[in-house]
Amino acid sequence: MWSVTSRNAPEQRAGAELARPAVGRVEQAAPLHALSRDVQAVANGDRDAFERIYDAYGRMVRAILLGRVPPADVDDLLQDVFLIAYTRIRELRDASAFGGWIAVIARNRATDHLRQRRAYAELPAELPGGDAIEAETLVVLDAVRRLPDAYRETLLMRLVEGMSGQEIADRTGLSPGSVRVNLHRGMKLLREKLGWNANE
């Protein structure tokens, strides 16, 4: 369920604290070398290692999906992406490339899902609107989805999933400087799309 923590700050509206029951939280991000070992362990059938990978990469994958598909479909697709990764992990030659590899799986799964959802029913004009806060959050999400991929995914990882800049860099393979640039430029474009004044 979408919820907004403050109606005053645009960044807080955009980064509404979302419930994420399907993705585990870790207090501190696991080091990359440990995650690489976990990827190799999963290839050898270690299910506990797969759980650690899910905890480490789930928020990144969720953000990628949220930038492409309706929010109601994200949790199911998140499970699909990790199932695909689990069944194909032996195909991954370099364990340290797992972040980029699973990101590609997530993007492809989202694209396939949207192709399968072609038939939409037209909603009647007199249909009552939902909660104003939820509607506002969906407007922001729609604006984020219209940003270029790099900005969209980085913003969703930071604002929605609560990942730190370093976590985003570690999981995506981007440099910390690139993450900062993507966040800065993405937020600037988002403000422009929503008509937010930078001094609000």
Residue range 95-125, pLDDT digits in tens: 989 999 999 999 999 999 988 876 554 545 5
Cβ–Cβ < 8 Å for 183, 157: no
Q: Percent of the chain scored above 90 by pLDDT?
A: 54
Instruction: Decide if 7 is inside a domain.
Output: no
Residue 106 forms part of a structural domain: yes
Give the domain range for residue 84: 29-194
Look up the CATH number of the domain holding residue 154. 1.10.1740.10
Q: Flag whether 66 is in a domain.
A: yes
Is residue 184 situated within a structural domain?
A: yes
**Total-model pTM:** 0.72
User: Do 196 and 10 meet the contact criterion of CB atoms below 8 Å apart?
Assistant: yes
User: Into how many domains does the chain fold?
Assistant: 1
Q: pLDDT at residue 17 above 70?
A: no
Residue 9 lies in a domain: no
Q: Which residues contact 134 (CB under 8 A, 6 or more apart)?
A: 1, 2
Q: Pick from 85, 89, 65: which is nearest to 75 by CA? A: 65
Instruction: With respect to residue 21, please indicate whether it lies within any of the assigned structural domains.
Output: no
pLDDT in tens, 133-147: 577 778 888 889 899
Closest CA to 133 of 18, 11, 20, 2: 2
